[in-house]
Amino acid sequence: MSESTDNYLKHLFALSQHNQAGISTSALAQKLDTRAASVTGMLKKLHRDGLVLHTRYKGTVLTARGRRIAAAIVRRHRIWECFLADYLGFGWDKVHDMAEKLEHVQSEELIDRLDQLLGFPTVDPHGDPIPGKDGKLPAASGQLALSETRPGDRVIIRGARSESPDFLQHLSSIGATPGVALWVKQVLPFDRSVVVRIKNNLHTLSAVAAAALVVSKNRMP
Amino acid sequence: MSESTDNYLKHLFALSQHNQAGISTSALAQKLDTRAASVTGMLKKLHRDGLVLHTRYKGTVLTARGRRIAAAIVRRHRIWECFLADYLGFGWDKVHDMAEKLEHVQSEELIDRLDQLLGFPTVDPHGDPIPGKDGKLPAASGQLALSETRPGDRVIIRGARSESPDFLQHLSSIGATPGVALWVKQVLPFDRSVVVRIKNNLHTLSAVAAAALVVSKNRMP
DNA sequence: ATTATTTATTAGGAATGCCTAATTTTCTAT
DNA sequence: ATAGAAAATTAGGCATTCCTAATAAATAAT
């Protein structure tokens, strides 16, 4: 189990949180900062090793075993983030990169003792939930609909409470995809439309759309 | 700078503590648990990169840069060992393997803050000295001459207070080389010769020899 | 429906870092 | 001094994991 494998599983796990469909090779390549061709090759190995199910040209999903391992990695990452913040006083902007390296140290006993030292935290310094030893993620905290935000809020898009292709298509066209930052500029009083800024562009979302767009004030690991 | 590189430098550093001459390829191969041929290849790269000076068939020494990096690795290793022992309650037998992995996480700020959290320790849980930020090792503590031990002691050979080729040659012939464990069986009253066990063989060292053999009750990292 | 575009895959290659087997150099003992 | 033993090196390979370029499949647009 190499660090590379860890990173593939970790990002597949994260992407799976907001995609019930299989993860695309390009989405994964972007997260991993590698080329799609490299990802295809690695996915073949992960498939061969029973960690993912990969269907040519279709997408990839984690197997139960792959998901279990991925959850353990995310657990390590977030527990280390807690330690770095609580014991060493690092800010939320620094803990991520260090935890990125510490997460690859595989020792269940080490993590369990850290967990205990930290008082069994359930969320990391970004407010993101820490998977339990069983691999289960506590209900995501800090998530809300865009319609529940107020002008001035800066949030991260998490997903959508709708499978409508039209709706998702529209979100994509304005760059509103999971992980992207969004600034709430104003809520129009007469129809409760929400004006938001995404990467220097202003967009207006109807009240219906705003109610279906899930955001959070936290960052993912 | 790979983990492999780290390990080469770390072991070269450790071996250099007790060898003023260049380190032999086979000694390094043994520490690294790899084949001599692999070591030769890697030493070429380290030489090319200015981390060691390697003379074909002669031996290898660290350059100033290599030694500085090696000291930083040992520093990380031993500070992590302190953390694992002091904060997570791991015993001396467990801290080594975990620190072996944690030492490869490169963040000076991380180590400095850990150092501060631990109160700037000068020795690790095995009693071995922690290199300072400048790469300097505090005077080795816990080291003593074999003549200062008592029957029943179990010590590790650290080196010799003599450059006499005859003496060192004799020590080698009975397997008394740095890193090797030695059990003190008895001290003969009439001439203070010391009877020791090394790997199931009993040997007798004169009082003069015992006074020149440096041992410690600790383990190296 | 067919073309154009995007997405994914294969093909072929490079750098690491390890291996075994064969060879060369050095050391040791007569 | 020289034969034999020990140590170190070179030669040739293998597995990972990445890359670029070329091809194939799927999706979108006319």
Q: Cβ of residue B25 near strand C, that is under 7 Å?
A: no
How many Å apart are A10 CA and D21 C1'? 30
Closest CA to A2 of A31, A42, A38, A36: A42
Q: What sign results for the dihedral spanned by CA atoms A112, A114, A119, A122?
A: negative
Whether residue B101 and residue A107 make contact (CB cut-off 8 A), yes or no, is yes
Q: Which amino acid is at B148?
A: E
Residues from chain B contacting residue A107 (CB–CB below 8 Å): 98, 101
Q: Which residue of B has its CA nearest to A116?
A: B88
Whether residue B84 and residue A114 make contact (CB cut-off 8 A), yes or no, is no
Residues from chain B contacting residue A77 (CB–CB below 8 Å): none
CA distance A91 to A85: 6
Q: Enter the DSSP assignment of B2.
A: -
- In the predicted model, residues of chain B with pLDDT beneath 70 are 91-93, 126-127, 140-141, 162-165, 178, 218-221
Q: Which pTM does this prediction carry?
A: 0.76
- pLDDT for the residue B1: 87
Residues from chain A contacting residue B84 (CB–CB below 8 Å): 110
Residues from chain B contacting residue A89 (CB–CB below 8 Å): 113
Residues 35-64 of B with CB under 7 A from strand D: 36-37, 39-41, 43-44, 54, 56-57, 59
- pLDDT for the residue A174: 85
Closest CA to A18 of A221, A185, A179: A179
- pLDDT for the residue A65: 97
| Upper half-sphere CA count for residue B158 (Cβ side, 13 Å) | 23
How many Å apart are B135 CA and D25 C1'? 58
Give the pair of three-digit tokens for residue A55: 């269907």
**pLDDT tens figures, A41-81:** 999 999 999 999 999 999 999 999 999 999 999 999 999 99
3-class state of residue A151 by DSSP: coil
Whether residue A105 and residue B110 make contact (CB cut-off 8 A), yes or no, is no
Q: How far is CA A183 from the centre of its chain?
A: 19
- pLDDT for the residue B53: 96
Q: Which amino acid is at A122?
A: T
Buried-exposed string B166-179: b where 16+ CB fall within 10 A, e elsewhere:
ebbeebeebebbbb
- pLDDT for the residue A219: 58
Nearest to B98 among A84, A107, A117 (CB): A107
